[in-house]
A and B are shown apart, each in its own frame.
With several copies, the nearest count.
Chain A
Amino acid sequence: MKKMTYREAARSALRQALAGDPRVFLMGEDVGRYGGAFAVSHGLLAEFGPERVRDTPLSENTFVGAGIGAALGGLRPIVEVMTVNFSLLSLDQVVNNAATLRHMSGGQLSVPLVVRMATGAGRQLAAQHSHSLEGWYAHVPGITVVAPGTADDARALLLAALREPDPVFVFEHAALYPMEGEVDDTAGPGEIGRAAVRRVGTDLSVITYGGSLPKALAAADLLAAEGITAEVVDLRTLRPLDTATILASVARTHRALVVDEGWRTGSLAAEVSARIMEGGFYDLDGPVQRLCSAEVPMPYARHMEDAALPQPATIAAAARAMLRRDG
C-alpha cells in the first residue's frame, strides 16, 4: 500500500498498461505535450513516445471513432476525452458504433476500447463544463461504465477496463484528482460489476459513487456524531449495476438514500431507486429518497454552485429527515 493521489493512481494504471502490452496506446486532446488537461498522463509521452501517447486535434467525434476502428484493428486503445462535457460531440460514435458493432455484425466484431473522461462539477466551471452525464452512458447496452470514487479504484478499475473485450467508459471525477488514498499498486485489476460497502451501518444505506462518495462518507461522519449509523455503498460500476449488493444493504438497513451529482430527473439515482422498488420494496421502512444536483445549468458563482450540488451537510440532513419521517 502506498499513499498516492487519485490522479497518480490513474497514471500508474496507464503506465502499467502501456508498459505491459504493446497494443495499448493513449490518444486524446493534449495527453502528450501538455501533459493532460488534468495532468493524468504527465510524463507518459517522454516515457512511451509519440506513437503511443498521441495528441489529437479537437475532433471528439473522429478520435473516439478512430479508437473504435483501432480496437477493431487489433489494438487496445485508451481514448481520453478531456471531459464528459465534450463527449457529447462523440456520442454518436459511442451509441451507434461502439455499442452496436458486436451485435450488428452477428458477433463477428469486438471493440476492446477504453474511453476515459473527467466528469463532474465543483470547480466553478459553469454551465458548459460541469456536467455529470455518466448516467446517460449507463443507459446504453453494449458498453460498460465504471466510475472510481477512490484512488485505489482509479487504478484498479482502469486496469480492469483494459481486460474487457468490449468498450468500457471510465468516468474520473475531476474534483477527486488531488485526493489522496491508499493504493496497492502491485495488485491486479479490480472487478467490474461489483459495488463496495465503504462503511457499515444499520440505520440507512447511502448509495452513491464517484465524486459524491467522499461527501457521503463525510455525511456519515456527521451522522455518526448524532448516533445515526449510515451504511455507505459505492456503486463503482454504473453498468452493469450491482443490484445484489444494493438490495442486500437495503435488506439490512430498510432505508435508502441515493446520492448522485447528476440532475435529478432521469438520473442514475432514479434507476437505483427503481431497482430497489422492484427488488426491495418489502424490505423498506419508507420510500427511497434521492439527493441529486439541482435542475439548473451549473451557475459559476461559488455559493450558487455549492447550493446546486449534494454536500455532506445536505446528505446528512436528508438522512435525518428520512429517519424522522419513517421512523
Chain B
Amino acid sequence: MSASIDRDHGLGLLRQMVLIRRFEEKAAELYTVGKIRGFLHLYIGEEAVAVGTMQALTPEDNVVATYREHGQALARGMEAGSVMAEMYGKAGGCSRGRGGSMHLFDVSRRFYGGHAIVGGGLPVAVGLALADAMRGRPAVTACFFGDGAVAEGAFAESLNLAALWRLPVLFLCENNLYAMGTALERHQAQTDVVRKAEAAGVPGEAVDGMDVLAVEAAARRAAEAVRGGQGPRLLEARTYRFRAHSMYDPDLYRAGDEIEAWKTRDPVVLFTAVLRGQGVLGETDLAAMETSVAAEVDAAVAEAESGPWEPVEDLLKDVYTAPVDR
C-alpha cells in the first residue's frame, strides 16, 4: 500500500463501495416499508471483497454469486436500477421479477446468479470452467461463497474436481466468521480455509477482506495463476457483516463489542483514509461522490417504482424454452 495509487482507479473503487453501501441502506429502508420482500441479505461491511476481487476479472470471465450478492452484482457492473427493480419484483428487474434479491442474473455480464442453496453454486462454477477449458476460451470463473459453505460436501467435492481437471476456477471464500448464527469455530473443527483448499489440491491465500487494495492485489495474483493454466485457486477474504444475517435475524449470537470492533475496520472508512492520506481524495471529492451515488440510488428506486409488473398471465413463462400450453 506504500506505492501511490492511481487516482481514477482509487476513486473508482471507493465509488463502487459507496454505491453498494448506499444502495443497501436504501434497500433495508424499503424492506421495512414492504416494497422489498422475501429474504434480504445485506453485504454492508463486506464491500471490499466484491469490489476488490472484481478488478481481477475481465468481461469474458464468469461470476457465480451467493444470495448475499447485491455487492457482487453491482461490482460486476450491473445497473442499480435493474437490481432494485428485481427486488421490487418488477418486469424490468434483471431477472424479470422472478428471482428477487437472492437471484440476480445478468447473462450479458456473465453473472450467473444469485444462488440461495448454500454451496449450490460451486458445482455450477466448476462446470462453467469446464466448458471454457474444453472450448478453449481463456476465461476465469469466479465463484463466491461464505465460510458456512465450506462445511457442505459440495465444497470439498468441487475443489477436488476443479483441481483434478485443472479447471480455471477462482474460488472466493467470503469468510465473515459466521454462518447465520453459527460462528466459524462452531461449524469448523479446523478453521483455516486455505489449509482445507490445499488438502483438496487447490492452492490458496488468505487476505484482509477489509482492505480493498489488498483484496485486489491478491485476486489479481490468483486470477493470473488461474488464467495462466495453473488450475484453480482459492482466495479467502476475512471480513465481517455489520448487519444481521437477514432482515429476519434478531442477531442474538454476536457480542455488541465484537461488532463495534469490526466496525472500526469499515472498508469504506479505511479506504477513504488511504486515499486521503495519499492525497488522492480531495476535500470535495467525497461529497461529490456521495451526491452522485445518492442520485444513482434514487434513480434506481424511481425506476423500480415506476416499472410495470409482469402480467399474471405469463406465470408459466420461462419454465421451459418452449411455451407450456396450460
Q: Is A123 an interface residue (CB 8 A)?
A: yes
Sample of 11 A–B contacts (CB below 8 Å)? A65-B122, A69-B124, A69-B127, A97-B124, A104-B103, A105-B107, A109-B107, A127-B98, A300-B98, A301-B100, A303-B309
Interface residues of A in 151-210 (CB under 8 A from B): 165-166
Pick the interface stretch among B21-29, B206-214, B256-264, B310-318: B310-318
Assess A70 versus B319: contact at CB under 8 Å? Given A30-B180, A63-B161, A106-B99.
no
Q: Is A134 an interface residue (CB 8 A)?
A: no
Roughly how many angstroms separate A39 CA and B66 CA in the complex, as a whole number? 24
Q: Is A25 an interface residue (CB 8 A)?
A: yes
Map CB proximity to A onto B113-137 as digits: 1 under 8 Å, 0 otherwise: 1111111101111111111101100
Q: Is A14 an interface residue (CB 8 A)?
A: no
B181 touches A166 (CB 8 A): no
Interface residues of A in 76-107 (CB under 8 A from B): 77, 85-86, 89, 92-93, 96-97, 101-107
A70 touches B99 (CB 8 A): no
Pick the interface stretch among B42-50, B87-95, B281-289: B87-95
Q: Is B249 an interface residue (CB 8 A)?
A: yes
A69 touches B99 (CB 8 A): no
Q: Is B144 an interface residue (CB 8 A)?
A: no
Interface residues of A in 1-54 (CB under 8 A from B): 25, 29-30, 32-35, 37, 51, 54
B131 touches A75 (CB 8 A): yes
Smallest CB gap from B245: residue in A: A34
Map CB proximity to B onto A59-81 as digits: 1 under 8 Å, 0 otherwise: 11111111111111111010000
Interface residues of B in 278-326 (CB under 8 A from A): 309-310, 312, 315-322, 324
Roughly how many angstroms separate A57 CA and B120 CA in the complex, as a whole number? 16
Q: Is A225 an interface residue (CB 8 A)?
A: no
A61 touches B324 (CB 8 A): no
A69 touches B126 (CB 8 A): yes
Pick the interface stretch among B2-10, B68-76, B145-153: B145-153
CB distance from B200 to the nearest CB of A (A): 11
Bin chain B's interface residue count: 35 or more
Chain B residues contacting A77 (CB-CB under 8 Å) are: 127
Smallest CB gap from A64: residue in B: B123
Interface residues of A in 226-249 (CB under 8 A from B): none
Smallest CB gap from A110: residue in B: B321
Assess A294 versus B117: contact at CB under 8 Å? Given A102-B321, A126-B102, A300-B97.
no
Bin chain A's interface residue count: 35 or more
Assess A102 versus B318: contact at CB under 8 Å? Given A34-B253, A59-B152, A304-B98.
yes
Q: Is B171 an interface residue (CB 8 A)?
A: no
Roughly how many angstroms separate A104 CA and B100 CA in the complex, as a whole number? 9
Roughly how many angstroms separate A64 CA and B64 CA in the complex, as a whole number? 16
Assess A59 versus B151: contact at CB under 8 Å? Given A34-B252, A104-B114.
yes
A59 touches B103 (CB 8 A): no
Q: Is B272 an interface residue (CB 8 A)?
A: no
Q: Is B62 an interface residue (CB 8 A)?
A: yes
Interface residues of A in 277-297 (CB under 8 A from B): 294-297
CB distance from A6 to the nearest CB of B (A): 17
B128 touches A73 (CB 8 A): yes
Chain A residues contacting B53 (CB-CB under 8 Å) are: none
Interface residues of A in 250-286 (CB under 8 A from B): none
CB distance from B220 to the nearest CB of A (A): 23
Map CB proximity to A onto B22-58 as digits: 1 under 8 Å, 0 otherwise: 0000000000000001110000000000000000000
**Out of A35, A56, A105, which one reaches B252, CB within 8 Å?**
A35
Q: Is B240 an interface residue (CB 8 A)?
A: no
B100 touches A126 (CB 8 A): yes
Q: Is A321 an interface residue (CB 8 A)?
A: no
Output the residue of A69, A96, A105 with the most chain B CB within 10 A: A69
Chain A residues contacting B100 (CB-CB under 8 Å) are: 124-126, 300-301
CB distance from B107 to the nearest CB of A (A): 4
Q: Is B276 an interface residue (CB 8 A)?
A: no
Roughly how many angstroms separate A101 CA and B249 CA in the complex, as a whole number? 28
B93 touches A106 (CB 8 A): yes
Ranked nearest first, the 6 interchain pairs of A and B with the lowest CB-CB distance are: A69-B127, A65-B123, A73-B131, A34-B181, A106-B96, A301-B89
Assess A127 versus B103: contact at CB under 8 Å? Given A65-B127, A70-B130.
yes
Chain B residues contacting A55 (CB-CB under 8 Å) are: 181-182, 186-187
Chain A residues contacting B89 (CB-CB under 8 Å) are: 124, 300-304
Q: Is B271 an interface residue (CB 8 A)?
A: no
**Out of A67, A97, A107, which one reaches B318, CB within 8 Å?**
A107
Smallest CB gap from B181: residue in A: A34
A70 touches B131 (CB 8 A): yes
